[in-house]
Amino acid sequence: IYGYFDWDSYLKETGGEPAPASAFKQHPDPPANEFRLKMKLEAQDPRNPSSTCIATVVGIMGPRVQLRLDGSDNTNDFWEMIDSPSIKPVGHCQENGGMLQPPLGFRKNPSHWPMFVLNTLKDADIAPKNIFIHEPPSPSRNRFKIGMKLEAVDKKNPRLICPATVGSVTEDQIFVTFDGWKGAFDYWCKYDSRDIFPVGWCQKSGHPLQPPGDKTPFTPVRDKLLSSITTPGSVPLSIQCLPKTATINNGTPTSSKLKSKTNQF
Ligand code: MLZ
């Protein structure tokens, strides 16, 4: 069966406890996905979030839909949870005094937009209101601890959800490190990010889970080894090639580092 990954034996081998379900901004039971291919809905343009556009479901995985903005090309597809507030039934925007906007990169003359909307929605398969699910509440505080295991969206390959470990924690953020990938895909996110899930979430929700990579993770031993080959005035190639996240992973997200710097002036 696709995407099957045995967390139990993996956790036995590698050690590490799963982060508790209460740490996540996710419904305890993943909602059933009743969206179907070709259904149309309203979605925020991820590249221009103040715009509400018409979108078509072009893919379905567990409680997520792959969306393509109507009038745009197929190179900017994105994934949304079916309980995301960024997607709404057709009509929602107007009912709230807004106006549907052409997506960034609308392929026609902007003056054709109103007609384009009419034609797009005529005879369309409109996603029914009742299949949109309310967003779950946020946990009251950051309950993550270093070393806890989770499942996380790979933001560089957003169709993938992969096994990960909490690498660092601040008051309101966590550093997501992907197991077996040396740091190239790691990122900081808020503790209530919708891109992170409890261990077992994929299996429970019918979403594929990528197995961990086969690259050895960064260990203090490896870091020591690398620094011991650094001679003053020269940077070894191995270090030049390191992903940025690995070299700045000292427990502080880059953005807050910048902020505290700025505050000094
Ligand atoms: N094929 C890609 C996918 C990597 C996915 C990593 N996810 C944490 C690669 O090998 O680069």
Encode the chain (265 residues) as per-residue pLDDT tens digits.
454 789 999 999 999 899 999 999 999 999 999 999 999 999 999 999 999 999 999 999 999 999 999 999 999 999 999 999 999 999 999 999 999 999 999 999 999 999 999 999 999 999 999 999 999 999 999 999 999 999 999 999 999 999 999 999 999 999 999 999 999 999 999 999 999 999 999 999 999 999 999 987 544 444 444 444 444 444 333 333 333 333 334 444 444 444 433 333 3
Provide the pLDDT for residue 216: 72
Atom of ligand 1 nearest to the CA of 164: 8
Residues with Cβ < 8 Å from 162, sequence gap 6 or more? 151, 152, 154, 178, 179, 181, 185, 209, 210, 212
- The verdict on the CB of residue 157 being under 6 Å from ligand 1 is yes
Return left, alpha or beta for 227; rule: phi > 0 is left, psi -120 to 50 is alpha, else beta: alpha
Provide the pLDDT for residue 215: 86
- The verdict on the CB of residue 162 being under 6 Å from ligand 1 is yes
Q: Which of 247, 137, 226 is nearest to 184 (CA)?
A: 247
Provide the pLDDT for residue 72: 96
* Cα-to-centroid distance, 162 and ligand 1 (Å): 10
Instruction: Report the C-alpha gap between 190 and 213 in whole angstroms.
Output: 24
Provide the pLDDT for residue 212: 95
pTM of the predicted structure, to 2 decimals: 0.81
- The verdict on the CB of residue 94 being under 6 Å from ligand 1 is no
Q: Which of 3, 247, 25, 246 is nearest to 134 (CA)?
A: 25
Atom of ligand 1 nearest to the CA of 185: 8
Q: 60 near 159, Cβ under 8 Å?
A: no
| ipTM score | 0.94
- Provide the strand spans (E) within 195-257: 196-197
- Residue 39 is encoded by which pair of tokens? 């259904």
- The verdict on the CB of residue 161 being under 6 Å from ligand 1 is no
* Cα-to-centroid distance, 33 and ligand 1 (Å): 26
3-state SS assignment for residue 207: coil
The residue whose CA has the least distance to atom 10 of ligand 1 is 213
Q: What is the DSSP string of 107-158?
A: SS-GGGHHHHHHHHHTT--BPPGGG--PPPPPPSS----TT-EEEEE-TTST
* Cα-to-centroid distance, 215 and ligand 1 (Å): 11
Atom of ligand 1 nearest to the CA of 181: 8
Q: What is the largest CA-CA distance in the chain?
A: 69
Dihedral of alpha carbons 189, 193, 196, 200, sign: positive
Provide the pLDDT for residue 227: 46
Determine how many CB atoms are found less than 10 A away from the CB of residue 77: 18
